[in-house]
Amino acid sequence: MTANLKLRRLLNAGLLILAAALPLAALLPAALAAEPVVLRRGNMSEPGTLDPHMAGASWENVIIGDLFLGLTTESMDGKPIAGAAESWTVSPDGLAWTFKLRPGLQWSDGAAFTAANFVFSFQRLLDPKTAAQYASIQYAIKNAEAVNNGKLPVSEVGVRALDDLTLEIRLESPTPYLPGLLTHYTAFPIPEHAFKKFGEDWKKPGNMISNGAYKLVEWKAHELVRVVKNPRFYDAKNVAIDEVYYYPTDDQAAALNRFRARELDVNLGTKGFPIGQYPWLQENMPGEAHIAPMLGIEYIALNIRRPPFTDQRLRRAVSLCLERAVITDKVLRDRQVPAFAFVPPGIDNYHNTARLDFAALPKDQRQAEAKRLLAEAGYGADNPFTFEYMYMISIDSRRSVVAQAAMLKECGMVMRLVGNEPKIHYDALRAKNFTAAQARWGADFNDPQTFLYLLDSRSGVYNYVGYNSPAFDRLVDEGRNTLDLEKRAEILARAEQTALNDGSVVPLSFFTYKSLVAPYVKGYADNAVDINRTRWMWIER
């Protein structure tokens, strides 16, 4: 029998008479008196990696953002604030940013943290040998694209340490959203000393050194990832959660059952619970189910690199036949908004003027035009246009894609449905191994560039559809080089309109996220980017 259990039994039997004379804390073993505060988080899917430079999914970001801290980070409400850098200044031309690091920063093993750590990390991210799938998001940095394409050595990346506490980042063009961009995990530092010692094994439990609020101690594939509080984190005194367990929750219904049983304290993200259970949750667990708007879009990615969707007529026919308001208001019923553009409304530094040209047409006219285009492309009643459509398995996704298939059938098209778990689904998207597929994108930072990036020919694997338009790219570049935010907004709106006119994507809805939060979990805040770092949370029972 353990000492703790024996003590509990004695207390329950009322045999510790000294308890009347001595404080209870003096009688309790330290382990019993100070049990760790644990948070159990549902986390959409199994992470493929916890390496910040190799990650590419929101469910990986959930964990990585607890382990590592960039120059900037997210506040409780998802806005960029000072992180490893305590302040920064910008040159008059907007091309040079100088960051001052917080004095005394350390890695979780006690090694000193300096500006040189960021230099090493940006160089590693952009080194073509690293093959970081998301490196292109940092192409705003001077020479980043040329280095990543092997045209310049990594030493030419526009990041340098002026001294141990001062980092300079030089840019290709003015980037007013840089503080938000630097909250992205590709801008996180990794420990050079651990990388040199362990190579690619540096990211395994026992080897990983981090600079964020937590450090990795356990990873059981398809079961859990466990982290514990990093006592060397600069703000450790204000971190209230001692341990975090992250569980992959691909199955919405199963996740809800675990939440109801309090096996999960929170289940955050776009798939937190089946929308059909929302009325029950409101009545029986009031205030615990959250539906909130976010800067994100759901769209159909049509692979325009290969037939049949190299034919713009077929892409347009698919888009014409979808009843977006029916999907959002009658099928999903989770406050999503029909999307007739690609950049979500309400985003900073933008005017949402771009729009699909048929948005105002009635259903019969849109269907008639779609059928005309299909006939022109050689399809009809005796030869229906048929294609495979991949989607992410969930109760809500299934309902949505079945409705979409019915709408296309009215126009004479056949959509063959193939469901997969999120990780497999997005692996196929990035590998371009699909014909048509459900796709979702949430803002990495609050600026239209985070969405237009998906259609830039230089965006690598994240340009799922394979859109390649010199006109679009020129407008995006012109926007990048425009200091005046009003003029920049107009230019980027023209870029978005160009992509819509080309039928590059099929927008469906500007989505919401659905989260479950137990009433004893504090420090959670609905926000537009759907990012909630554990360091801001605490437990009140």
| Identity at 134, one-letter amino acid code | Y
Please, what is the angle between helix 485-501 and helix 470-480, to 10°? 170
Q: Are residues 308 and 457 in the same domain?
A: yes
Q: Are residues 198 and 323 in the same domain?
A: no
- Mean model confidence pLDDT for the chain: 92
Q: Are residues 187 and 312 in the same domain?
A: no
> Is 220 contained in some domain?
yes
Please, what is the angle between helix 363-376 and helix 312-321, to 10°? 160
Q: Are residues 300 and 393 in the same domain?
A: yes
pLDDT 10s digits, 133-150: 999 999 999 999 999 999
Q: Are residues 103 and 242 in the same domain?
A: no
> Is 413 contained in some domain?
yes
Mean pLDDT for each consecutive 10-residue tract of the chain (541 residues)?
A: 37 34 41 79 95 95 98 96 98 96 98 98 98 96 98 98 98 94 98 97 97 98 97 98 96 94 91 91 97 95 97 98 97 95 95 96 98 97 96 92 98 97 93 97 93 96 96 95 92 98 97 95 95 97 88
> Is 471 contained in some domain?
yes
> Is 209 contained in some domain?
no
Rg (CA), the chain: 25
> Is 208 contained in some domain?
no
Output the domain CATH number for residue 132: 3.90.76.10
Q: Are residues 355 and 400 in the same domain?
A: yes
Residue in this structure with the two tokens 């048509």, named with its chain if needed:
436
Distance CA 106, CA 112 (A): 5
Residue of 296, 408, 289 lying closest to 344 (CA atoms) = 296
Task: Report the number of secondary-structure helices (H) and strands (E) in the chain.
Answer: 18, 19
The maximal CA–CA distance of the chain, rounded, in angstroms, is: 93
pLDDT on residue 13:
38
Cis bond upstream, residue 80 (ω within 30): no
> Is 199 contained in some domain?
yes
Domain limits for position 230: 214-291+514-539
Q: Are residues 93 and 69 in the same domain?
A: yes
| Pair type for strands 266-267 and 506-517 | antiparallel
User: Domain tally for the chain?
Assistant: 4
| H helix runs in 377-469, sequence order | 395-410, 422-430, 449-452
> Is 411 contained in some domain?
yes
Q: Are residues 441 and 534 in the same domain?
A: no
> Is 102 contained in some domain?
yes
Question: 34: exposed, middle or buried (C-beta count within 10 Å: 0-12, 13-18, 19+)?
Answer: exposed
Q: For residue 376, how many other CB atoms are within 10 A of its CB?
A: 12
pLDDT 10s digits, 167-185: 999 999 999 999 999 999 9
Q: Are residues 465 and 353 in the same domain?
A: yes
Residue in this structure with the two tokens 């390496």, named with its chain if needed:
51
Q: Do residues 344 and 513 lie in contact, with contact meaning Cβ atoms separated by under 8 Å? A: no
Q: Are residues 490 and 530 in the same domain?
A: no
Output the domain CATH number for residue 433: 3.10.105.10
Q: Are residues 468 and 365 in the same domain?
A: yes
Distance CA 441, CA 339 (A): 13
| H helix runs in 2-57, sequence order | 3-13, 24-27, 30-33
pLDDT on residue 270:
67
Distance CA 491, CA 478 (A): 7
Q: Do residues 211 and 189 lie in contact, with contact meaning Cβ atoms separated by under 8 Å? A: yes
Domain closes at, from 203, 236, 268: 203
Q: Are residues 257 and 336 in the same domain?
A: no
Q: In this structure, what DSSP letter does residue 382 have? A: T
Q: Do residues 86 and 101 lie in contact, with contact meaning Cβ atoms separated by under 8 Å? A: yes
Cis bond upstream, residue 47 (ω within 30): no
| Identity at 237, one-letter amino acid code | K
Distance CA 478, CA 173 (A): 10
Distance CA 25, CA 29 (A): 8
- How far are the Cα atoms of 113, 138, 451 from residue 118, in angstroms, in the given order? 9, 13, 26
